[in-house]
Amino acid sequence: MEKLSKVLLSIMFLFLTLFVVNLTVQAEETTEIDAILIYAHVPEGWENPHVWTWNEAGDSAYAHLGWPGKAMVEDEANEGWYYLYIPSNMENIIVNANEGSVQTDVIAVSENVWLSVTIDVDPEDAEETIVVVDESTVQLTTGDLPEYIPTKYVYAYVPIDWDTAGIWAWEHPAGVNVFPNWPGAEMELLSDGWFRIEIPVAANRIIINDMGDPTIQTVDIDIPDTNVYVLVGDENEDGKFEVTLHDTKPVIIEGGFTVTITVPEGWSEPRVWAWSHPDGTNLFTTWPGEVLEFDEEANAYVIILPEWINRIIINNGIVGEGAAQTVDLELINPVDTVIVVSNEPDNDGKFTATIVQEGDDEPGDDEPGDDEPGDDEPGDDDPGDDDPADEESNNVVMIVAIVVVALGAITTGALYFVKRS
């Protein structure tokens, strides 16, 4: 009997152990897959599809990338299908392609989804087409789901005399390298002078180097699990470059222009969102952008923008209920600019603005008051001051004058004819 009890206890202990292990594995899987899988089958002609995503709080996972968002990955095992894992806190997506020139409507997401995107005839206009999206939470592709590898972006701003920027990345202290050989991978140069590359979240130590001469390099840099901006500074005594790290992109202005802005009353903490069109490179990483500083002397808000910026939106700094913003404002030239935002929104609920750039013919050359309303008092030229009789008299005089001139011309011609005869 005692032996039987021991056997039963052993079996119970084994089952309990297996149960705990199973729960642990499930918990680890849940922690690892903190993302939503987006699959899309796009129409023929939709090249290089991307995903733009955001949530109701106004956070966009790819704001730092700019429109059209993050590129999807082609699934070689499923022809025509592309996929992308997005952060689990995102709630809305737009699938787009051809550098953002074609796109779906907004699609709400909360779990893994398969989207079949097609082009159909517009039911309201047979000569037009519309984008149709069929959604399914049931897997429409074959085989296992793609592996989820959490990633982050490293940005680097390097000295002007570097040829380019490369990165060496590894897991410390495990010593697992991201790239097979030194000096690593070349980073992508962006239009604003920053370099960028995507690496696994697990990589927590990097070196930025000049790929043209890898002996030119920074110190070892410990980086966080999130996107990071590395500003490369001066060379130290050991011949390596020191750095500073930022969680948002520091604004580096080398030859900028000043924008002076007047906003409606009630916009107590206005902000500006700025980017480069048409490539979509954002100056700031998170909407609604940079807080504007008030200049007492100018009695307006002032910001200095880099010369590559040609589009801005001015907003009241509020996200969600109570938010207000201008339409997209085009800055044609990178010169000092004055912007006055209208006091009332247009029919679409957005504010327009008057833009005057240095060198323009500024409105207001005729100063207010030069021809103020009321200088000519009502009644100075009242209708009826010219009496109808006076007008008739003037007409008679004019007719008489015309007749006299005509008779003179006839008489002169006659005398000339007589003399010739």
* pLDDT > 80? residue 100: yes
Report the pLDDT value the prediction gives residue 12, as an integer from 0 to 100. Answer: 54
Tens digit of pLDDT for each residue in 267-322? 999 999 999 999 888 988 889 999 999 999 999 999 999 999 999 999 999 998 99
299: helix, coil or strand? coil
Which residues on adjacent β-strands are paired with residue 131?
119
Q: How confident is the model at residue 203 (pLDDT cuts 50, 70, 90)?
A: very high
Q: Give the tens place of pLDDT for each residue, 160-194.
A: 899 999 999 999 999 999 999 999 999 999 988 89
**Spatial separation of the C-alpha atoms in residues 36 and 89, rounded to whole Å:** 9
Work out the pLDDT band at 253, boundaries 50, 70, 90.
Answer: confident
Q: 3-class SS at 353?
A: strand
- C-alpha 278/C-alpha 67 separation (Å) is 9
- What residue type is 160 in one-letter code? I
**Is the confidence at residue 391, as pLDDT, over 60?**
no
Q: What is the pLDDT of residue 359?
A: 85
Confidence of residue 247 (pLDDT cuts 50, 70, 90): very high
Rounded-to-integer distance, Cα 45 and Cα 48, Å? 10
Q: Is 310 exposed, middle or buried (0-12, 13-18, 19+ CB in 10 A)?
A: middle
Q: Mean pLDDT, to the nearest integer, of 45-57?
A: 96
> CA dihedral in degrees (139, 141, 147, 149; nearest 10)?
-80
- pLDDT (average), residues 230-241: 96
**Residue bearing the bigger pLDDT, 192 or 400:** 192
Residue 168 tokens, joined: 């060496």
When mean pLDDT is compared across 129-138, 345-354, 378-387, the lowest value belongs to 378-387
55 has a pLDDT exceeding 60:
yes
Q: What is the pLDDT of residue 58?
A: 86
Pull the structure tokens for residue 31.
């922690």
Q: Contact 339/355 with Cβ under 8 angstroms?
A: yes
109-126 mean pLDDT? 93
Task: Report the predicted TM-score, pTM, of the whole model to 2 decimal places.
Answer: 0.62
Distance CA 210, CA 218 (A): 9
Rounded CA gap, 221 and 207, in Å?
Answer: 6
Q: Give me the chain's average pLDDT, please.
A: 83
Residues 122 and 130: their CA atoms lie apart, in Å, by 5
For residue 376, pLDDT over 70 is answered with no
3-class secondary structure, 9: helix
Who wins on pLDDT, 364 or 262?
262
* Residue 351, strand partner residues: 326
278 prior amide bond cis, ω within 30: yes
In angstroms, how far apart are the furthest CA atoms of the chain? 167
What phi, psi does 177 have (nearest 5°)? -85, 145
Three-state secondary-structure class, residue 311:
strand
Give the CA-trace dihedral at 373, 376, 377, 378, to 10 degrees.
Answer: -90
Check pLDDT > 80 for residue 393: no
Average pLDDT on 394-403 reads: 42
Q: What's the pLDDT at 250?
A: 86
Section 239-245 average pLDDT: 97
Q: Residue 344: what pLDDT?
A: 95
What is the rounded average pLDDT of the residues 43-52?
96
What pLDDT, on a 0 to 100 scale, did the predictor assign at position 326?
Answer: 97
Q: Is the distance from CB of 190 to CB of 196 less than 8 angstroms? A: yes
Residue 3 has pLDDT above 60, yes or no: no
Of the candidate ranges 124-128, 207-211, 413-417, the one whose mean pLDDT is the lowest: 413-417
> Residue 11: its pLDDT value, please?
55
**Which of the pair, 382 or 95, is modelled with greater confidence?**
95
| % pLDDT > 90, the chain | 67
